[in-house]
Amino acid sequence: MDKILLIIKREYLTRVKKKSFLLATILTPLGIAAFMVVASFIFGYESDEAKRIAVVDQGGVITGGIKDEKNIKFSQYSGTLEEARAEAVDGDFDGVLVIPEQSNLYTKDVQVEYYSEDGLTLDVEGVIRDRVRDYIRDYKAEQLGMDKRSLDALSFNTYVEPEPLIEGGEDTSKITGAIGAGIGTLMGFVMYLVIFIYGMMVMRSVQEEKTTRIVEVMISSVKPFQLMLGKIVGVGLVGMTQVLVWAILIPLIVAGASFFFGIEPPQADASAAGGMNPEEAENMVLLAIQEIQNQNWWAILPLFLIYFLGGYFLYASLFAAVGSAMGEDQGESQALTIPITIPVVLAIYIMFAVVQAPNSTLAMWSSQFPLFSPIVMPARLAFSPPFWEVALSITILIATSIFFIWLSARIYRAGILLYGKKIGFKEMGKWMISG
Amino acid sequence: MSLLKLDGVLKRYEGVTAVDHVSFTVPDGAIFGLLGPNGAGKTSIIRMITTITRPDAGEIYVSGQAVGRETIGKVGYMPEERGLYKKMNVEDHLLYLARLKGLSKADATRALDYWFDRFSIETWRTKKIEELSKGMQQKIQFIATVVHDPDLIILDEPFSGLDPINTNLIKDEIYELAQRGKQIVFSTHRMEQVEEICDYIVLINKGKNVLEGWVKDIKQSFRENLYEVKVDGELDDSVLQAYSLRDRTRGGAYVVQLPETKPGNALLSDLVGAGINVTSFREVLPSLNEIFIRQVGDYNPVLETV
């Protein structure tokens, strides 16, 4: 056991001390923060400049002028279109909005024209469209003799409020779906990344030891199983360290950047692009934060960890087996890794489907199947799946991981000593059986 | 007590018998040579001594103890293909290997200090392995092999790639370790090295022990009563008739075979009696190389499976 600890320590320290690790770990959060800062500035830049738009109301549609948006100022123009355009060219206006006479009140397409140098930019287009629609609707209503109040009754918001079937049952909110999807997707991607990056790291390490023949010296001191396990655990710890650092640094740096640079949190900008009005967006955010807080984190986080570990060990041991069977030939190893990565990619797709229907048959079976469960089940955790399903899934995952570790160890033991010969699946099969 | 003993060791790989009921006992204090052509089974035997693999039958004893977890710390192994972690620095690497052999951190540090001092390589401590030349790396590998003070030291082609100075350095170390009572197991194809260094050998061919014994005795047992003599001028046919001329070397020496009954002195006195000026006279014992070839003959080497 001490020997395994020694190996774990060495595998961990040699990787964590490397400059490349430090750079990647620190630079990634900084990169994300920098991206955010730049993105915010880009959005902010546009909206800092006030746009002055001259409105040429040819049909007499607008009464009282168009209401200004934050950085877009509309002013009724009393002259002709040509005069307006001339003044715009001179710089008095940034653009000229022309609302033609509404000859056909029943038309399904209402077109207005926007004259400007910059063309129709996103910030302006949304606002113009919304305003014009509202004003023309009022105009049409008036022209057609409809009562405005009745008209307003026709526009309303629709919400679906979930209620528990049995009295005292789980009371979820309408955001749960989105939150669950968000958390699940995040977990899925983290697993995917970890498996690829660190699983491959294990494989490459095994290959290197085989190529440099250090493995012969090593296994005259330790059993192959000890070396393999120590390596898997050590590399896994490196992965966890990196994820942990990111989990702490990224929120900190993002918060710090927002504070420092006085940027609005991304949600506000995103809502402007999405077409929601700011108030709605704020409500959503508050609801989301509340929903996130309502999650049973005491249960979810340890479960995350268990799935994380189970999934990592399962796949990392497969990578170790492949690495030991492969020679120096990089091409061979790439080819053999494909069968391993297919279930991972499949699991991501299944996860997307599961998140939309968390209690479906697909969801149930795929969160039991050990190659998929580390990615699929965590996605379901936000939807409070039945306890027995989670317990069973974990049991299966752990048992399978142990089995795979044992299986891979047999391949590893035989593979690391063989040189030159190409090892196919048949060979590995024999090793698995005979050890 | 013998530090290395094999008893009926059998090892099979996929239907091929790599080691076929091999037994031998290495006498205490002898530098031991494990010889044989490629694929003969030497590597398989070595791997079983070092616990890398296990025999299918038979026993191996290191310092009187059956090979297993307890003997790991007693054996040092320098494989033919050298291997070290390129990115580790020398000190960390040697400490790591020493501790994996069972040394405590304190003992390992002390042992390292000793060897760094002995080889005068104090300045290498913080260098990365990849920064060292091949010869330097092999010195490090040698230290790694002996740092835990093992009773049994297995060296597979230890001099390959070393320049004469480093070769001598390692050779001296080997002698010194042997003197201190360590059992050296030397594995090589280079028979000249074996003759120079080894006291006792075992020749493995096709998985079997085909020849075993003290080098001196073996050479004696294969002697053909050959003598090499150098003279001033040329030898007359008349003189040579009594003996069968085996060879005329490039240096002008005559290699002559005496009949079994005649001692070497007889030739010498014959020559001197004939008034010939003898400048050099010596018995020619067969080289291990020749013995090796003769024993192994037209061998078909088994393809290396391990």
pLDDT more than 90, % of chain B = 43
Of B72, B84, B306, the CB nearest to A214: B84
**Greater model confidence, B120 or B237:** B120
Is 80 exceeded by the pLDDT of residue B118?
yes
Using a CB-CB cut-off of 8 Å, the residues of chain A touching B306 are 417-418
Q: What pLDDT score was predicted for residue A271?
A: 43
Whether chain A has a CB inside 8 Å of the CB on B237: the answer is: no
Three-class SS of chain A = CHHHHHHHHHHHHHHHCCHHHHHHHHHHHHHHHHHHHHHHHHHHHHHHCCEEEEEEECCCCCCCCCCCCCCEEEEEECCCHHHHHHHHHHCCCCEEEEECCCCCCCCCCCCCEEEECCCCCHHHHHHHHHHHHHHHHHHHHHHHCCCHHHHHHCCCCCCCCCCCCCCCCCCCCCCHHHHHHHHHHHHHHHHHHHHHHHHHHHHHHHHHHHHCCHHHHHCCCCCHHHHHHHHHHHHHHHHHHHHHHHHHHHHHHHHHHHHHHCCCCHHHHHHHHHCCCHHHHHHHHHHHHHHHHHCCHHHHHHHHHHHHHHHHHHHHHHHHHHHHHCCCCHHHHHHHHHHHHHHHHHHHHHHHHHHHCCCCHHHHHHCCCCCCHHHHHHHHHHHCCCHHHHHHHHHHHHHHHHHHHHHHHHHHHHHCCCCCCCCCHHHHHHHHHHC
Whether chain A has a CB inside 8 Å of the CB on B87: the answer is: yes
Please give the ipTM for the structure prediction: 0.79
Q: What pLDDT score was predicted for residue A363?
A: 86
Sequence-distant (6+) residues with CB within 8 A of A17 are: none
Of A3, A215, A221, the CB nearest to B83: A215
As a whole number of Å, the CA-based R_g of chain B is 23
Query: 3-state class of B62 per DSSP?
Result: strand
Is 90 exceeded by the pLDDT of residue B76?
yes
Cβ contact, residue pair A212, B86, below 8 Å:
yes
Q: What pLDDT score was predicted for residue A296?
A: 65
Instruction: Among A214, A223, A431, pick the best mutation site for testing chain B contact (most B Cβ within 10 A).
Output: A214
Mean per-residue pLDDT for B120-134?
A: 90
For residue B39, count CB atoms less than 10 angstroms from its CB and return exposed for 0-12, middle for 13-18, buried for 19 or more: buried
Quick one: which of B138, B88, B82, B46 has its CA closest to A217?
Answer: B82
Ranges of residues in chain A whose predicted pLDDT is under 50? 264-276, 435
For residue B34, count CB atoms less than 10 angstroms from its CB and return exposed for 0-12, middle for 13-18, buried for 19 or more: buried
Looking at this protein, which amino acid is placed at residue B93? H
Is 70 exceeded by the pLDDT of residue B167?
yes
Using a CB-CB cut-off of 8 Å, the residues of chain A touching B85 are 14, 212, 214
Whether chain A has a CB inside 8 Å of the CB on B128: the answer is: no
Residue B59 β-bridge partners: B7
Q: Which of A246-260, B123-137, B266-280 has the lowest average pLDDT?
A: A246-260
Tokens of B248: 């005329």
Cβ contact, residue pair A217, B77, below 8 Å:
yes
The C-alpha of A267 sits at a distance from chain B's nearest C-alpha, in angstroms, of: 46
Quick one: which of A341, A334, A335, A323 has its CA closest to A203?
Answer: A323
Q: What pLDDT score was predicted for residue B105?
A: 93
What is the reported pTM? 0.75
Is 70 exceeded by the pLDDT of residue B300?
no
Q: What pLDDT score was predicted for residue A427?
A: 64
Q: What pLDDT score was predicted for residue A176?
A: 66
List all residues of chain B from 34 to 73 with a beta carbon under 8 Å from chain A: 47, 50-53, 72
Of B47, B79, B88, the CB nearest to A213: B79
Of A18, A213, A222, the CB nearest to B81: A213
Whether chain A has a CB inside 8 Å of the CB on B81: the answer is: yes
Tokens of A327: 């020679």
Cβ-Cβ contacts under 8 Å between A and B: the total is 53
Q: What pLDDT score was predicted for residue A345?
A: 85
Q: What pLDDT score was predicted for residue A425?
A: 61
For B83, name the nearest residue in chain A, comparing CA atoms only: A214
Using a CB-CB cut-off of 8 Å, the residues of chain B touching A220 are 50-52, 72, 75, 77
Q: What pLDDT score was predicted for residue A376?
A: 86
